[in-house]
Amino acid sequence: MSWGPARAEFPVLDRLAYLNAGTNGPLARSTHEAIAAQERSDVESGRGGPAYFERALALRDEVRTKLAAVVGVEPGVMSLATSTTNGCNIVLSGLQLEPSDEVLTTDGEHFGLLGALAASTAQVQVALVRELPPEESLQVLLDAITPATKLIALSHVCWMSGNRYPVEELRRESGLPVLVDGAQSAGAIPVDAAAVDFYAFSCQKWLCGPDVTGGLVVVDPERLGIAAPSYLSQESYDDVGFVARPGAARFDPGWTPPPSLAGLSAALDLAPEGRFERAVQMADRCQELIAERFEVVTAPGQATLVSFRPDEDPEDLVKRLYEHGVVVRHVPKLGWIRVSCGWWTTEEDLARLLGAL
């Protein structure tokens, strides 16, 4: 599908300048129809019987395969984690770091990662890189590594500033395991998750999937502990132990609603050719327009988020913009406004934003 007809699939884009895919992406008509069809079946035919479970398991395989393709890996290393948060928790709880271990992170992380780090017993070291472009942040991060560093855990794209972090270079140059929070990258920019060790992402943002869907890449599944097993983690068990399923499916945190799987599968089919190029183009254009009147935080040529410093109270501004049909968010504590541009974003959306600002 080319981008014009694909864009026309999103009803919300007819009503609003919807510029907040960094929180939740727009939902397409075809995604909604796939969800609704499965729900009708569940209500009318019941959530039981052999055909129901066969379909649910087939949908899991289908979605796993499609998600793997999105981030450039084999399906065998993809777990159907429910969110970036869930993925980060699976990794940190599975690694079982010691209190003497260190994890290196940044000052630009979401609580989805920070919470998992806080719950681990390891020491958290914070590199101050959120406002640096990736070519400068690499050295700052490498310099912060100590002999106790056992993991580097950071975003691919900073949810606050919109800047990229050099995750692949970090992996290569440090030789240390790298956990990537891919919430603002999977579906937004090209991703090669196999270049790091763990890649956690959400599907309801840039992939326009249903709520509470996500993925976690574990490149070497056998080497990570299973801290929170579900029925789907095992291929056999007795009262005191279990044999894990092969591959990263062992980390699947539980059942996914079949309507959500059907909707996600439809959403993943929608993405048009050239979507990454178009999304970055629109973000660049957004940056250009905002820079005429405000101080932009985001370095040039990053991903699909553009953050800037408003000259009024950011919370009030977000509300005022919403009243004008423009959906953006503010970044708490820093007082920035963050604009999310997708392949579906148009010049008209940006004009509406600028007009309302």
Range 51-90, binding a second copy (CB under 8 A): 82-83, 85-86, 89
Q: How many Å apart are CA 178 and CA 108, to the nearest integer?
A: 16
112 binds a second copy (CB under 8 A): yes
42 binds a second copy (CB under 8 A): yes
Find tokens 């609580």 and name the residue.
111
Q: Is residue 214 within 8 Å of 83, Cβ to Cβ?
A: yes
Q: Which amino acid is at 132?
A: L
209 binds a second copy (CB under 8 A): no
The binding track of 283-322 with respect to a second copy, each residue x by CB under 8 A or -, is: ------------------------------------x--x
Which tokens in the block code for residue 10? 């999103």
Q: How far is the CB of 268 from a second copy (least distance, A)?
A: 17
**Which residue's CB is nearer to a second copy, number 73 or number 183?**
183
221 binds a second copy (CB under 8 A): no
Cβ neighbours of 139 (radius 10 Å):
13
Q: Tell me the window of 59-67, 70-78, 109-117, 174-182 that interacts with a second copy (CB under 8 A).
A: 109-117
The binding track of 229-268 with respect to a second copy, each residue x by CB under 8 A or -, is: xxx-xx--x-xxxx----------xxxxxxxx--------
Q: Is residue 260 within 8 Å of 213, Cβ to Cβ?
A: yes
Q: How many Å apart are CA 104 and CA 149, to the nearest integer?
A: 7
- Residues 6+ away with beta carbon under 8 Å from 85: 111, 112, 113, 115, 116
Q: How far is the CB of 176 from a second copy (least distance, A)?
A: 19
**Which residue's CB is nearer to a second copy, number 17 or number 73?**
17
204 binds a second copy (CB under 8 A): yes
Question: In the 8-state DSSP scheme, what is residue 245?
Answer: P
Q: Site for a second copy (CB under 8 A): which residue of 1, 8, 16, 97?
A: 16
- Helix, strand or coil, per DSSP, at residue 7: helix
Q: Which amino acid is at 48?
A: G
